[in-house]
Structures are given as C-alpha cells and as structure tokens.
Amino acid sequence: MNKKKLFAGGLVILAVFGLVWLAKARLPFGGKVGALEINLSQPDAWIKTDSLAQLPRDLLKVPLARDVLTEDLVNYYETHDERLSMSGAIRRIAYEHNMKWEDRLLEAALNEAAEVALWRDQRGALRHYLAVVKRNTLSKAIEQAAKIAASDTQLSSLGQISIDGDEVELLALNISNQRTFVVASHGERILLASSPELLFDEEQGLREDGETLLKQLLGKDAAGQQRYADYFQYKAGAKNEKAARHVLIMDANFMSFGYQHFFAGMQALRFEFDRQGKWSSAVLLDGKQLPPESLNDAVLWQAAPMDPAACALLPVDWQMGNRVLGPLPSEKVAALLKQFDGPAAICWYAQSNLHTPLILAHTKPGSKPDPLFLEQLFRWMIRGAQQAQGDKTKDGGHLWQHEVSAPFGMAAQAKAKGKDKKNTEGEETVYQPALAQQGDFIAFSPDVKLVQLALQTQAKRYPNLRDVLPKNSKTLVWLSSPKLAQMMRNETLQVLDTPGEELFLMQAKTHLWPKLDALKKYPSWRLQLSRLPGKDEKAWLPVEWHAVSKGRE
C-alpha cells in the first residue's frame, strides 16, 4: 500500500506544472540538499501507464484485489494528503490570479501517459522516484501560466540545464515542510523528481549522472527516453508493449531485500494490464546466469511441509557462498558448496512468524556433508552459539539449535518460560534458530519448530507440498490465501495486542479483519513457468497462475 501511495500522491504534482514552469523571475532555492546514495541507472521498480488516474481502478479488476482491497483503494488515492495539499495549492494560485481551470488541470495530468522510476530508501520503501509525463493536454494551460505573476511563494530555482540547445530551468516546488519536488519541462515532456537530493549533491550542484538522466528523459532522442524500458528489457515498439495499458516491473534485488546476487539468473518480475481488461505476469530470466538444474523443483518440494502460507523457489548459484563464508576454512567451504544440487526454497508457515521462514536446500544423491563442519558453520553464523551442541535425529540426521535473546522474538517461547500472555514492552523475547541435515536435505530456520517439521516431512511422517503439485510442473511460487490471511492476522495481533495499542488494534479489527476474511475464501495458487529459458537466452517468460482447491490439480 505504501508504494502505491507514493505513486499516486507524488504524481499528482504534475497537475500544477502548467501553472508555474514559465515564470521568469525565480528566487534561488534556499533549502538544504543531502546526498543520496542511489544509482539512477538502476531503479528498483518502474511503471509505464496510459493513465495514472485509471491504474487503481484497473487493479480492482482482479477479483482478489476487488474483494480484499475494495473501493477503499481508489478512495484512498483520491483523498491522500499530498493530493489534497496540491489541490489546495492549485486553488490558491487560481484565486490569486483569477484562473478557473484547476479541476481540468488535475484531471488532465492524471489521465496522461506517464513513466515512473522508483528507488528504495534506507528503510527499504520506494520513497524516491522520477516521473515523466507527456503534457499534450496541458499545453494551453502552460501558455496561460506564462501570464501569471513572475514569482510564487512555493517556487524557487535550482539552476538551469541545456537540453537540445534549449536552456531548461530546474524548479524546486515546495508543498510542505517535508516535501520539496524538482520539476522541469522541455518539449512535450514534464519531469518530476521526489526531492532535490535525487539529482543534486550536497553543494547543490547537479550530479553528473543526474544531468545525463535529465538530458535523456527530456531530450528529443527516443533512445534516451527509453533508457529505463531498455534497462528492464522492455523494448519500445515490442508487441507486448503495444497491447499493454499498464506495466509494473519490480527488480529482483528489491524483492529479495538485496540478496538477488545469490540468484542472479532471476532478474525482475512484471505485471501487465492489457487493453482487453486482463492482468498477466512474467519473470525476466537470464539463462547464462542460471546454474544447471536451478529451476528443477521436482525433488525440493518433497522436503517442504504441507500447508505453507507461501513458498518460493530460488535458483541459487551456490558458489556465491564463498563470498559469505570467507572466514571459515576455504577447503571445507568449497567441499560443502559442491555438494548442493538445484535450487533452494523459502517457505512461510502460519504457525510461525513472517520473519522466521524455513529455508530448504538439496544435496546431490550420495553426498555426505561433514556434520562437524555443519556444526562449525552453525556456531559461526548464530550469535552466542559457540557452545551449541548437535543432536542426532531418530532417522540418522543431525540437528543443531541454540536459543538467542533478541527484540521482537517469538511470544510463544516467552510464554513457555512462564511469562505473561502478552509480549509487553521490555519483556525478554527469544528465537531458537536451528540447522538440520538429514538424508539429501538441509534445513534452516530461526524457528526450530519449522526445522523439526521439515525433518518429519523428510522422514515421511508428515505430508509434503509435492503431494498437491502436478507431475512435471515448473512451480515457482505457492500461495495459500487462507494461510496468508491467518498469518497476517497473527502478525497484526503480535504487534498491536500490547498495552498502549488498544486504539490501533480496534481499528485493525474494524477495517483489516473483514478484508482478511475475504482473502480466506480464495483458494491456494500455484505459479509456474510455461517453459524454461534456453542456456544463452535472456527473456521475459510468462508466469501462469493456477488455482488449487484440495488435492492434486
């Protein structure tokens, strides 16, 4: 929700560009600029749309989104604080200069075709963005804006840049103490940046990459305008682009919280809304960077316990582990990594926490990982586990576990120690991470209960996820709507069912609970590839969504 909030709220600023961009006399920008460590060439997400205003409504054409998000999604964007602040600014300018076109301008800006590139902030949220919109319907308003007073209280100058032989002014548009935008217009294109820090350095000089970016996005050269489409392998003029009304692409590095270098072959995920009113999805795979058998899911799902809330396959390049395990004996690290076979899997279960998933890996048949080195590995990666001892399982495997005190630990374990039912502020909470090796599988989780469940699954005393998957499937993701709803409810209660949060808990029960109840009514979903990429192929491959009720499809 926060990401989409930024898309809609920030882009509404485009509505006011026609009012101010031709003002001749501007005060220099008086605010402070702090440097941002952002690579402008590599956005974390990208949106291309025929209409920003229509995007939320088209999202609701997915039945699941319509029932869970409801019309509240559209109402949220239309009453967002930044949109209301911008409407107020437009009304002020219209009143002071006797103009009466603010409503038309707002609607025209939101109904224009636009592209948005987004980057995450230090907290991982997509709060930094650049938007480019064609101003065809705003041209007349811009001409009228030239007749407005030469200065305005909310506008100042950041300098000028030469684009295609024209001097283009970069304006700082301030709408609140927390929000200052950079706006620029050239030819038929208008650009909005979420803050001066995105393009300028601490001395308020235009960054070299920022200058290059502005010249490309606002210039006449079509190749420069397509730089972000090219980055995501979304070529201009391609058949799929002609058919798409909305395109949303997320980089795999953003979705994996920065761990994408371990599975470089999977690079991005795309959602498209075509002109027939249907959404589709695809994944960008690079066959050159996919290790052999890294998308072979047949064996791994046999080790995943039944009824996860969600599971995802990760085409891991196991040799990347050398970069992480450097402090350990290199020969033992190399020997262990050579024994891994195929992908890894990560699964979340409703009986555990969102931040304590189960991770599974498969070793080559007949290989025998050194249990002494696995114990050394566990002690090295878990704080305070130097004295942790491993136990043999009844099925000939090994299990290492160690209790770790940490904030936001599992309340169930705290209650087991005789503590109060509620995880009150200041109460000591714990995790009990565990690593296990049994047969051809290795399992790890911050929650020992999930590892023990995986051991039972591998010993065939508990059903596995493979039992409900079709034969010869290429399953990438498993999603259980009922289990996801249960996990979201549990996570909410864990945070809000504490002293001092009674008001927020009441709001969650009033507004969130009905949406989770709606989510529960939907079946589980299995996402699979229609085919695997070629060895030297880098391409977008369609992802098929299959509803799963009970039993095998």
Most confident range (mean pLDDT) of 226-235, 276-285, 411-420 is 226-235
Give just the sign of the alpha carbon dihedral 67, 277, 112, 193.
positive
Most confident range (mean pLDDT) of 193-207, 248-262, 343-357 is 343-357
Q: What is the pLDDT of residue 204?
A: 77
Q: What is the pLDDT of residue 173?
A: 74
The candidate with the shortest Cα–Cα distance to 246, out of 384, 49, 394, 72, is 49
* CA separation for the pair 507, 490 (Å, rounded): 15
| Three-state DSSP state, 539 | strand
Q: What is the pLDDT of residue 189?
A: 85
Q: Structure pTM?
A: 0.79
* CA separation for the pair 223, 287 (Å, rounded): 26
For 423-457, write each residue's pLDDT tens digit.
444 566 888 999 999 999 999 999 999 999 999 99
**Average pLDDT rounded to a whole number, residues 282-289:** 91
For 454-509, write each residue's pLDDT tens digit.
999 999 999 999 988 888 778 899 999 999 999 998 888 888 887 888 888 888 88
For 39-68, write each residue's pLDDT tens digit.
999 999 999 988 777 777 777 666 666 665
Low-confidence winner among 40-44, 54-58, 523-527, 541-545 (lowest mean pLDDT) = 54-58
Q: What is the pLDDT of residue 110?
A: 59
144 or 215, which is more confident: 215
* CA separation for the pair 117, 43 (Å, rounded): 6
517 or 142, which is more confident: 517
pLDDT greater than 90 at residue 307:
yes
For 313-328, write each residue's pLDDT tens digit.
999 999 888 888 888 8
Percent of the chain at pLDDT exceeding 70 = 74
End-to-end CA distance of the chain, in Å?
Answer: 32
**Average pLDDT rounded to a whole number, residues 29-36:** 53
pLDDT greater than 50 at residue 146:
no
What does the mean pLDDT of the chain come to? 77
- Tokens in use for 516? 């989770």
Q: What is the pLDDT of residue 394?
A: 82
Give just the sign of the alpha carbon dihedral 91, 94, 98, 103.
negative
* CA separation for the pair 196, 186 (Å, rounded): 18
Residue 274 identity: D
**Average pLDDT rounded to a whole number, residues 62-84:** 54
**Average pLDDT rounded to a whole number, residues 76-92:** 50
Phi/psi zone of residue 426: left (φ > 0), alpha (ψ -120 to 50 degrees), beta? left
* CA separation for the pair 122, 117 (Å, rounded): 17
- DSSP E strand stretches across 453-505: 475-480
Using alpha carbons only, how large is the chain's radius of gyration in Å? 27
The candidate with the shortest Cα–Cα distance to 449, out of 405, 418, 413, 480, is 413
Identify whether the C-beta of residue 465 lies closer than 8 Å to the C-beta of residue 299: no
- Tokens in use for 530? 């229609």
Identify whether the C-beta of residue 361 lies closer than 8 Å to the C-beta of residue 341: no
Alpha helices in 340-467 (DSSP H): 371-381, 411-416, 448-458
